[in-house]
Amino acid sequence: MPSNKDEDGLVVLVFNKKETEIRSQQQQLVESLHKVLGGNQTLTVNVEGTKTLPDDQTEVVIYVVERSPNGTSRRVPATTLYAHFEQANIKTQLQQLGVTLSMTRTELSPAQIKQLLQNPPAGVDPIIWEQAKVDNPDSEKLIPVPMVGFKELLRRLKVQDQMTKQHQTRLDIISEDISELQKNQTTSVAKIAQYKRKLMDLSHRTLQVLIKQEIQRKSGYAIQADEEQLRVQLDTIQGELNAPTQFKGRLNEFMSQIRMQNHFGAVRSEERYYIDADLLREIKQHLKQQQEGLSHLISIIKDDLEDIKLVEHGLNETIHIRGGVFS
């Protein structure tokens, strides 16, 4: 059931033309309908929407705005506009434009709904009509509509087929939008990873600059308690890095495994094995991730070792300077 008020002024015109033709000639159609209304300059014809119907027909929803001399405007009620279109001479002009049917799109009053539901349509068994009312999934928005004859059944079938095509078209558009969003997401993730790497590199460079600046600022001063504590912590970290069971030992173990794999690969180069393509791709991806992780870890350790050496060098210079001053 329509939910529009009579004041909304919506009237449906069914044209015996394709939707593409209606859209391409929409301005000419509006001008023609304005002439049908008498060419009154205070009236403006507006198209609310169009929809494709079976058998190359198109549904066009229009409304007419009337402007008063004092500058205000209002929509012509749907019943008034429909009554004008139903006049014999006006109806002939509409048929010349290709209009095969006109109707108002307004909500039904409670009395009209009650009358429709209480009186079964002609040719419909009252028991079947009562069952149709019981089976109504939403009695506030829907009403039973009888289908009498094969012609009506064929029309309903064509309407459903048309709606299915429209839904499929909309689904295709949504699928394309999702694919485009996925591409944008992939690009964004790659950029975020790149910016993270750049941020890490800039952080290391900033740390190196701060170390040099701090060494110059502290040159000639005695080592403070917090600096001595920092030195102890750095020595502890250095010891952990050099411990056989910690990172350095694990890196050596990984490197030994890689050398062994390369050695066995060279020895058994003449043997041929056949691995599933998907499994081989997963293995390559896994090894690649491991290699990248190892490279990243080695880079971090090297940077940290350079920072430690730089701090030790600065501390040694500070001690040397202090020794020279006291001597």
Q: From CA 68, how far away is CA 158, in angstroms rounded?
A: 44
Q: Where do the structural domains in the chain lie, given as residue ranges?
A: 1-107, 108-146, 149-219
For residue 242, what are the contacts with CB-CB under 8 A and spacing of at least 6?
A: 248
Report the predicted TM-score, pTM, of the whole model to 2 decimal places: 0.50
- pLDDT at 301 (0 to 100): 84
Contact 60, 10 (CB under 8 A): no
Q: Given this model, what pLDDT does residue 319 score? A: 64
Q: What is the pLDDT of residues 9-41, one digit of tens each?
A: 899 999 998 888 888 888 998 899 888 888 888
Architecture of domain 1-107: 2-Layer Sandwich (3.30)
Angle at the Cα of 30 from the Cα atoms of 26 and 36, rounded to 5 degrees: 140
Residue 180: the pLDDT is 92
The pLDDT score that the predictor gives to residue 171 is 92
What per-residue confidence (pLDDT) applies to 281?
79
| Contacts of range 289-295, beta carbons closer than 8 Å, 24 or more positions apart | 294/251, 294/254
Cα angle, residue 107 at apex, residues 103 and 112 outer, rounded to 5° = 95
Backbone phi, psi, residue 204, to 5°:
-65, -40
| pLDDT value of position 174 | 93
Q: Which residues contact 65 (CB under 8 A, 6 or more apart)?
A: 43, 44, 46, 73, 74, 75, 76
CA distance 47 to 129: 37
Of 182, 203, 234, whose CA–CA distance to 299 is shortest? 203
Write out the DSSP string of 79-103.
HHHHHHHTSHHHHHHHHHTTEEEEE
317 strand-pairing partners: none
CA atoms within 13 A on the CB side of 61: 14
Contact by Cβ (8 Å): 53, 59: yes
Residue 11 contacts residue 85 (beta carbons within 8 Å): yes
The pLDDT of residue 223 is 76
pLDDT digits (tens, 9 = 90+) for 292-311: 878 888 888 888 888 888 87
Side chain identity at residue 84, one-letter code: H
What is d(CA 202, CA 44) in angstroms, rounded to the nearest whole number? 64
For position 168, what pLDDT does the model report?
A: 92
Rounded Cα gap, residues 166 and 73, in angstroms:
36
- Taking alpha carbons only, the member of 26, 9, 22, 35 closest to residue 89 is 35
Residue 227, SS3?
A: helix
HSE toward the beta carbon, residue 306, CA cutoff 13 A: 12
What pLDDT does residue 320 have? Answer: 62
Cβ atoms within 10 Å, residue 106 = 21
**How much is the pLDDT for 177?**
92
Low-confidence ranges of the chain (pLDDT < 70): 244-246, 264-276, 318-327
pLDDT of residue 156: 86
